[in-house]
């Protein structure tokens, strides 16, 4: 328990000291969103039709940025070695790291998506659908991102994205459908997303541990 | 019963040895190449010259004899990669890791073949090269998975680490692939107006079915041949400096 608590506060401390990891996805997300109307059209009708898809694509792409922050810095400065050698429970390490990473990189984006009601004329009555699906969807994406990051530790980041993005395809489909279609179907999408979450958490965290281990053999 | 089990175990242990595999594959290779080629010839000639033409599509449907086998092989190879990944991670059988490395480019090529032949088939029948249909989209995603495996493998210098990494990725991908397929299917029913009906009645007359089945069989044999060749090349690359390999090369000279 003590380990859990101190490890959690360590992670939080790292993210709050190194704010670039938190800010860069936000900047990226805003730039992406801002450039879409410039590239497509400024017609409110068309934009509000495209908005759910655009938001989800941008969230996914912003998720690529945080792949590198989950394990890479600890791997580079050797603290991941220590966690591994000291036989801390790697499952706890992995889960806490993913969760804290989600809090600091995905939550700001979810909050920011509320502003899309103004920027992309996202229909207000579907905002709850969007936020709900984003909450679950980004958590799943964080897990896939962690796996991609762990597999490609010390390699180039394009490779990590090439691993993460195809895996996240169901999340993209379910999430953007949840925020596109009318609110009576919302429970259906949310349940499917939750099912995907509960399905991928154990599998991906075990795979993550395996992926970290292979760098130390 | 014990005897059968024992021989299976023995076979399994033999399968993990590079020299045994190298020598047995050199015997298997000519026979299987010949078989694959003959059966392919039989299927293609039967399909192109001796099967009836389709009522609605005319002669163009004959691309089915390339397209369907390629698509079927492309999916099967991916699941064989996942099984090999499981074997590698659980029993540390080095041949399984080598199998993934050798088979991934072959699978990717067959996926590309399926996509391209499908596009060529689609142009005259649907009037377009590409439709965002469920099958096409999930085949495209399959190609992405193959490319991710190939890319991940090539990013490691240490072969053992690379084998382990791609084993994990192949397994996770195989678990995820049915989910992707399901979600794409389901996305398709939401978005696609049913203006294009891709598969009409799935009853195919036996005169068309038999050559198709022969073609599918020949594609699997072809994969077997290509796989053997690729694995032999990979063994040669990894074991170039080992004694048994040098001795064997000397003996053959």
Residue range A9-37: mean pLDDT, rounded = 88
The alpha-carbon gap from A148 to the nearest alpha carbon of chain B, in Å, equals 9
pLDDT greater than 80 at residue A36: yes
The alpha-carbon gap from A37 to the nearest alpha carbon of chain B, in Å, equals 23
Mean pLDDT of chain A: 86
Nearest CA in chain B to A172: B183
For B20-42, write each residue's pLDDT tens digit: 888 888 889 999 999 999 999 99
For B65-120, write each residue's pLDDT tens digit: 888 899 999 999 999 999 999 999 888 888 898 999 999 999 999 999 999 998 88
pLDDT greater than 70 at residue A132: yes
For A46-68, write each residue's pLDDT tens digit: 888 888 889 999 999 998 888 87
| B150–chain A Cβ distance below 8 A for any pair | no
For B127-150, write each residue's pLDDT tens digit: 888 888 778 888 899 999 999 999
pLDDT greater than 80 at residue A88: no
State the pLDDT confidence band at B196, using cuts at 50, 70 and 90: very low
| DSSP class per residue in A153-213 | TTS-HHHHHHHHHHHTHHHHHHHHHHHHS-GGGHHHHHHHHHHHHHHHHHHHHHHHHHHHH
Instruction: Report the percent of chain B where pLDDT is more than 90.
Output: 33
Contact B168 A211 (CB under 8 A): yes
| A210–chain B Cβ distance below 8 A for any pair | yes
Q: ipTM score here?
A: 0.84
The alpha-carbon gap from A211 to the nearest alpha carbon of chain B, in Å, equals 6
Contact A166 B151 (CB under 8 A): no
What local confidence, expressed as pLDDT, does residue A40 receive? 85
Residue range A170-176: mean pLDDT, rounded = 88
What local confidence, expressed as pLDDT, does residue B202 receive? 52
Selected residues 183-212 of chain B with any CB under 8 Å from a CB in chain A:
183-184, 186-187, 190
Question: pTM value?
Answer: 0.86
């Amino acid at each position: 328990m003590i380990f859990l608590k101190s490890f959690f506060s360590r992670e939080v401390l790292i993210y709050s000291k190194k704010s670039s990891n938190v800010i860069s996805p936000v900047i990226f997300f805003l730039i992406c969103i801002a450039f879409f109307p410039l590239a497509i059209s400024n017609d409110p009708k068309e934009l509000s039709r495209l908005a759910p898809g655009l938001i989800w694509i941008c969230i996914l792409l912003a998720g690529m940025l945080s792949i590198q922050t989950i394990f890479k810095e600890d791997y580079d400065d050797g603290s991941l070695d220590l966690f591994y050698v000291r036989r801390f429970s790697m499952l706890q390490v992995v889960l806490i790291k993913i969760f804290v990473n989600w809090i600091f990189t995905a939550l700001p984006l979810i909050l920011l998506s509320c502003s899309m009601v103004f920027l992309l004329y996202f229909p207000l009555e579907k905002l709850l659908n969007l936020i709900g699906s984003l909450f679950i969807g980004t958590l799943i994406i964080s897990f896939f991102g962690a796996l991609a990051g762990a597999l490609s530790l010390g390699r180039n980041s394009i490779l990590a994205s090439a691993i993460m993005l195809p895996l996240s395809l169901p999340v993209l489909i379910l999430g953007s459908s949840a925020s596109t279609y009318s609110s009576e179907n919302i429970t259906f999408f949310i349940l499917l997303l939750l099912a995907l979450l509960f399905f991928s958490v154990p599998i991906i965290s075990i795979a993550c541990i395996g992926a970290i281990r292979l760098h130390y053999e | 019963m014990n005897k059968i089990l024992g021989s299976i175990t023995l076979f399994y242990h033999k399968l993990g040895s590079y020299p045994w595999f190298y020598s047995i594959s050199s015997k298997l290779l000519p026979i299987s190449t010949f078989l694959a080629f003959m059966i392919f010839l039989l299927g293609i000639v039967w399909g192109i010259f001796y099967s009836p033409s389709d009522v609605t599509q005319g002669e163009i449907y004959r691309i089915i004899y390339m397209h369907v086998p390629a698509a079927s092989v492309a999916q099967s190879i991916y699941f064989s990669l996942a099984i090999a990944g499981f074997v590698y991670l659980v029993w540390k059988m080095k041949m399984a890791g080598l199998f993934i490395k050798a088979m991934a480019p072959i699978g990717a090529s067959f996926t590309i073949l399926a996509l391209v032949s499908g596009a060529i088939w689609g142009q005259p029948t649907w009037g377009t090269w590409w439709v965002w249909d469920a099958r096409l989209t999930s085949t495209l995603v399959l190609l992405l998975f193959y490319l991710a495996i190939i890319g991940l493998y090539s990013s490691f210098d240490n072969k053992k680490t690379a084998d382990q990494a791609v084993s994990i990725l192949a397994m996770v991908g195989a678990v995820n692939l049915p989910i992707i397929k399901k979600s794409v299917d389901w996305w398709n029913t939401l978005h696609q107006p049913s203006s294009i009906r891709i598969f009409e009645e799935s009853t195919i007359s036996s005169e068309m079915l038999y050559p198709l089945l022969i073609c599918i069989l020949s594609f699997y044999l072809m994969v077997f041949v290509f796989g053997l060749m690729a694995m032999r090349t990979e063994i040669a690359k990894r074991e170039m400096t080992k004694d048994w390999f040098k001795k064997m090369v000397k003996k053959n000279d």
